[in-house]
Homo-oligomer: A and B are copies of this chain.
């Protein structure tokens, strides 16, 4: 069994770490890659082919884990070359997933939920051939949603309605508490009902959202546009608050 990677960032590196089996060979290429990526590939010790076309042709499972804006081009370039499964793990919209399905054989729509570097991430899958990846269950928990590619991307967007809007709500609440010097008390009182890690988790959400506010507002906008038949009042407010 050969698993090939296009893109060798955090997701790919952690998958190599987690999926450790004598029956599985990992391959990738360093064709046109940055010195940093070449260094990372070397460190991982996986097999390196000259071109990504060779990687695609040789893989039983070809994993695209690059960036949202490259995902479609990667599919166009290599999606028909692989005879195995094409697993897209990029953070893309259902519409992009649908576009990719025109260019990739045996597409599976995937997403890793929970931090990939944590002890218990879950790999969500949708698409006709999802059950072919059930053997990975011994390395990472697998959750198959449906036969339809796009369902995982859609579910991820639904999840984001909650998580990304919540982060902006936390910003608003903490700003207001701050005007009365009651930030600590705000966290303390909510810890009683929201759980021990409320402060830490909330601060991590707030920091992440403030630091990446441009990207976060683009993601909120993507949600609004995708679910445009629903008037998402809360998501719209979060976007407004974030770009004000």
A interface residue numbers (CB < 8 A to B):
113-114, 120, 122, 124, 143, 145, 151, 154-156, 158-159, 161-163, 165-166, 168-170, 172-173, 175-177, 179-180, 182, 185-186, 188-190, 192-193, 195, 227, 229-230, 232-238, 240-241, 244
- Copies of this chain, tallied across the complex: 2
Q: A163-B193, A195-B195 are in contact. List 19 more A-B contacts (CB 8 A).
A: A113-B189, A113-B192, A120-B192, A124-B189, A155-B189, A158-B177, A159-B186, A161-B172, A161-B173, A162-B169, A163-B190, A165-B234, A172-B235, A173-B234, A176-B230, A179-B230, A233-B241, A233-B244, A237-B237
Main secondary structure of the interface of A (DSSP, over half): helix
Q: Which residues of B contact A192 (CB under 8 A)?
A: 113-114, 120, 122
Could you tell me if A180 and B154 are in contact, using CB atoms closer than 8 angstroms?
yes
| A186 interface neighbour in B158, B169, B176, Cβ under 8 Å | B158
